[in-house]
């Protein structure tokens, strides 16, 4: 079959050559670690991102169960959501929007997962702008108007830099994640001596007063909340493992990059926040699920000014991720909407980000993470099944619309979104969306809903000398 049947965006794709790739500790691991060191992830781990949810959150059953849930979720992120996309990127040397054409088709892959990835990045920009404005607002006396202005400026500037000047941010982004790591270490040192006095029942009781809710979580509830929070947060980054993997030389690089940059970084950052919250409560009795809140840090450090300074530093460290989200979105829109001026498409996306930030909706992170997990959980599940059904390799672009992929995504998305829209309760909804997407893709592919593969002239990078 002629390669001319392929759309130009596929036929013109060229794999990243092996001589332009680097070891895992120079690209995959530090980049992923930077994502988990972002204070928006770890700051609310003690409540599972649910300051308005169940009292006690992840700490409802004590420190041990919380850390167990953290480890389970971290390993799920690595083995289920990242590993196969990473291997596909390493084998092919091609980006996600090309590799995705196997699971969603040469026409369907244009929208999924490429365009969807771009759209969701503006959701991330809104979350970033909202929490950065919270971290900076104490510098302006906590004025709510000032907070909204900060959110608007933050999102707008990040979107502009992501569109035009990401190379300048990249030069300093490598070092900025060290700021939250140092802050976490300092706060752990301040609280570790009180961990032996932590009482989970007292913490839940304090949470009952703070939230107005009446019951903490069971052990299963804690595990499910950990998975919902962490997997939902990671889902888009898992699919983006294709783009990370195309910079890896072999399977070992893919594995090590994920084990250190994803699993270990999740456990370190999330675990540190859990220990900080538990130790702070044991020593002061103050219930606060946000360990990056300037007032929390100020109380812990014994200096209001120091708390504000730490909040400022965390916000500064969060600016490059905001620019990178904008950069990914801009690239997605440029590829999928080539006839539309990127200033217009990215501008509209930035306006949506600003709306999410100033209304405060972006602050409901457990809902945001659930939506993201519902969107990309089925994508990762279907990609994993497609990989194994194709003999642990990329099958190649499939003609037109791969309905096995699209139907599995639609049903998985509904399952993942069910708790948000009130259809029915689904524990660990992002994981459930993954499982539904994987199982349904396998069934639909077996009954013949998978279209034929269109051969590409360009050979996958792994066949040019890589190994898997």
pLDDT digits (tens, 9 = 90+) for 120-155: 999 999 999 999 999 999 888 889 999 999 999 999
Ranges 34-38, 323-327, 347-351: which has the least confidence: 323-327
- Close Cβ partners of 67 (under 8 Å, ≥ 6 residues apart): 267, 271, 274
In whole angstroms, give the CA distance from residue 210 to residue 222.
19
Lowest model confidence (mean pLDDT) among 48-57, 60-69, 109-118, 387-396: 48-57
For residue 337, what pLDDT band results from cuts at 50, 70 and 90?
confident
Mean pLDDT confidence for 15-41: 91
Residue found by looking up tokens 């420190």 in the block: 63
Q: Which pLDDT band, with edges at 50, 70 and 90, does 297 fall under?
A: very high
The tokens for 389 are 């059904």
When comparing pLDDT for 463 and 308, which is higher? 308
User: What is the pLDDT, as a whole number, of residue 3?
Assistant: 52
Q: Look at residue 74 in the predicted model and tell me its pLDDT.
A: 98
CATH 1.10.4160.10 is the classification of domain 23-453:
yes
Q: Is the per-residue pLDDT at 40 higher than 80? A: yes
Q: Please give the pLDDT value at position 51.
A: 45
Instruction: Give the mean model confidence (pLDDT) for residues 184-205.
Output: 95
- For residue 426, the model assigns a pLDDT of 92
Nearest to 117 by CA among 289, 324, 273: 324
Highest-scoring range by mean pLDDT, 47-61, 170-184, 441-455: 441-455
Determine the pLDDT at residue 101: 95
Q: Structure pTM?
A: 0.90
- Residue 465 is predicted with a pLDDT of 40
DSSP assignment of 250-315:
SHHHHHHHHIIIIIIHHHHHHHHHHHHHHHHHHHH----S-TT-HHHHHHHHT-HHHHHHHHHHHH
Take residue 302 and report the two structure tokens written for it. Answer: 């014994």
- pLDDT for residue 2: 43
**Whether pLDDT at 221 is above 60:** yes
Q: Minimal CA–CA distance to 457: which of 94, 3, 10?
A: 3
Q: What percent of the chain has pLDDT over 90?
A: 66
């Amino acid at each position: 079959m002629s390669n001319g049947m392929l759309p130009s965006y596929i036929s013109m794709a060229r794999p990243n050559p092996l001589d332009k790739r680097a070891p895992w500790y120079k690209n995959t691991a530090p980049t992923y670690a930077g994502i988990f060191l972002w204070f928006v992830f770890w700051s609310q781990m003690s409540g599972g991102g649910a300051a308005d949810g169940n009292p006690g959150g992840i700490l409802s059953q004590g420190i041990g169960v919380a850390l167990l849930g953290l480890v389970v979720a971290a390993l799920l992120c690595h083995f289920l959501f990242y590993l196969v996309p990473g291997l596909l990127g390493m084998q092919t040397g091609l980006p996600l929007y090309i590799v995705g054409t196997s699971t969603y088709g040469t026409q369907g892959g244009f929208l999924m997962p490429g365009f969807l990835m771009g759209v969701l990045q503006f959701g991330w920009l809104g979350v970033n702008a909202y929490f950065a404005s919270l971290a900076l607002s104490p510098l302006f006396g906590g004025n709510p108007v000032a907070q909204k202005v900060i959110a608007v400026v933050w999102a707008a500037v990040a979107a502009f830099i992501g569109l035009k000047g990401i190379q300048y941010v990249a030069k300093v982004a490598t070092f900025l994640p060290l700021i939250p790591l140092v802050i976490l270490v300092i706060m752990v040192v301040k609280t570790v001596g009180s961990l032996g006095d932590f009482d989970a029942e007292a913490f839940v009781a304090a949470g009952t007063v703070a939230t107005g809710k009446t019951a903490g979580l069971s052990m299963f509830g804690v595990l499910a909340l950990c998975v919902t929070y962490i997997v939902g947060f990671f889902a888009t980054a898992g699919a983006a493992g294709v783009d990370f993997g195309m910079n890896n030389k072999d399977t070992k690089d893919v594995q090590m990059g994920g084990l250190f940059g994803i699993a270990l970084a999740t456990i370190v950052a999330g675990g540190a926040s859990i220990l900080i919250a538990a130790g702070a409560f044991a020593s002061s009795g103050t219930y606060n699920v946000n360990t990056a809140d300037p007032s929390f840090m100020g109380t812990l450090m014994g200096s209001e000014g120091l708390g504000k300074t730490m909040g400022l530093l965390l916000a500064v460290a969060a600016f490059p991720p905001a620019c990178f989200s904008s950069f990914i979105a801009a690239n997605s829109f440029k590829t999928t909407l080539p006839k539309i001026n990127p200033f217009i498409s990215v501008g509209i996306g930035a306006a949506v980000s600003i709306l999410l930030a100033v209304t405060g909706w972006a602050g409901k992170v457990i809902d945001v993470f659930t939506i993201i997990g519902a969107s990309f959980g089925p994508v990762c599940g279907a990609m994993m099944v497609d990989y194994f059904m194709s003999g642990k390799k990329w099958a190649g672009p499939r003609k037109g619309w791969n309905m096995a992929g699209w139907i599995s995504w639609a049903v998985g998305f509904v399952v993942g979104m069910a708790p948000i829209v009130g259809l029915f309760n689904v524990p660990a909804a992002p994981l459930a969306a993954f499982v539904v997407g994987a199982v349904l893709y396998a069934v639909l592919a077996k009954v013949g809903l998978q279209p034929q593969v269109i051969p590409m002239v360009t050979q996958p990078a792994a066949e040019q000398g890589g190994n898997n």
